[in-house]
Chain A
Amino acid sequence: NAGVTQTPKFQVLKTGQSMTLQCAQDMNHEYMSWYRQDPGMGLRLIHYSVGAGITDQGEVPNGYNVSRSTTEDFPLRLLSAAPSQTSVYFCASSYGQKLFFGSGTQLSVL
């Protein structure tokens, strides 16, 4: 079991560029989510999904899109990157009450 796999680990973007952060899990978890981690603000929920074909917004969804075409994958898309999106992004999947986290993607938007 690889658990939750995130790619890339690091990324630098210019303002206005688009990109997709990948997240995959091999534990057959129905629930997946994306968080961003900022100093002094903890982890904030961006989007989540309770199963294939179902997504919903979290606390800070603006500027991000998600889709869930399969149980395994939950990509996060930045359509037009802004410096305010500079952060560390974590994907997580859940079984019961326990969240399993990926190793994170450190994103810088210049």
Chain B
Amino acid sequence: AQRVTQPEKLLSVFKGAPVELKCNYSYSGSPELFWYVQYSRQRLQLLLRHISRESIKGFTADLNKGETSFHLKKPFAQEEDSAMYYCALKSGSARQLTFGSGTQLTVLP
């Protein structure tokens, strides 16, 4: 069975500092990984997906199949990045996602 692990429940960094939100997964097949974000009083929304290899709001994430990781990174955190971040895994042809437990990021001024 697939599993997504986000080891940090809470993460605080200062504005301008680099930030990395960790995500590890277990899945025997070829995974598709996503990061979803929930800002305060807003809906959960897609931030980025690994197949797009895109940078959204300065965030990037690289799929490392050897380490089974999909860490989210940003070189210079901003206060508006404060939010709950969820890593999610889509397995095979199924549409449903398996979510991690989430990391609450706080960027301090």
Contact = CB atoms under 8 A, between A and B. Distances in A.
Interface of A: 31, 33, 35, 40-45, 48, 50, 58-59, 90, 92, 94, 97-99, 101-104
B101 interface: yes
Main secondary structure of the interface of A (DSSP, over half): strand
Nearest to B4: A42
Given A40-B101, A42-B100, A45-B97, 8 more contacts: A40-B9, A42-B4, A42-B99, A45-B96, A58-B96, A97-B34, A99-B97, A101-B44
12 contacts: A33-B96, A42-B86, A42-B100, A43-B86, A45-B96, A48-B95, A50-B95, A59-B98, A90-B44, A97-B90, A101-B43, A103-B43
Nearest to B86: A42
A58 B49 CA distance: 22
B12 interface: no
Interface range for B = 20 to 34
Interface string B8-48: 01000000000000000000000010101000000111100
* Most A Cβ at <10 Å: residue of B9, B34, B90, B98: B98
Contacts of B95: 31, 33, 48, 50, 94
Nearest to A101: B44
Contacts of A94: 95
Interface of B: 4, 6, 9, 32, 34, 36, 43-46, 49, 51, 86, 90, 95-102
B64 to A, nearest CB: 20
Contacts of B6: 42
A93 to B, nearest CB: 10
A92 B96 CA distance: 10
Nearest to A102: B43
Nearest to B102: A42
B49 A44 contact: no
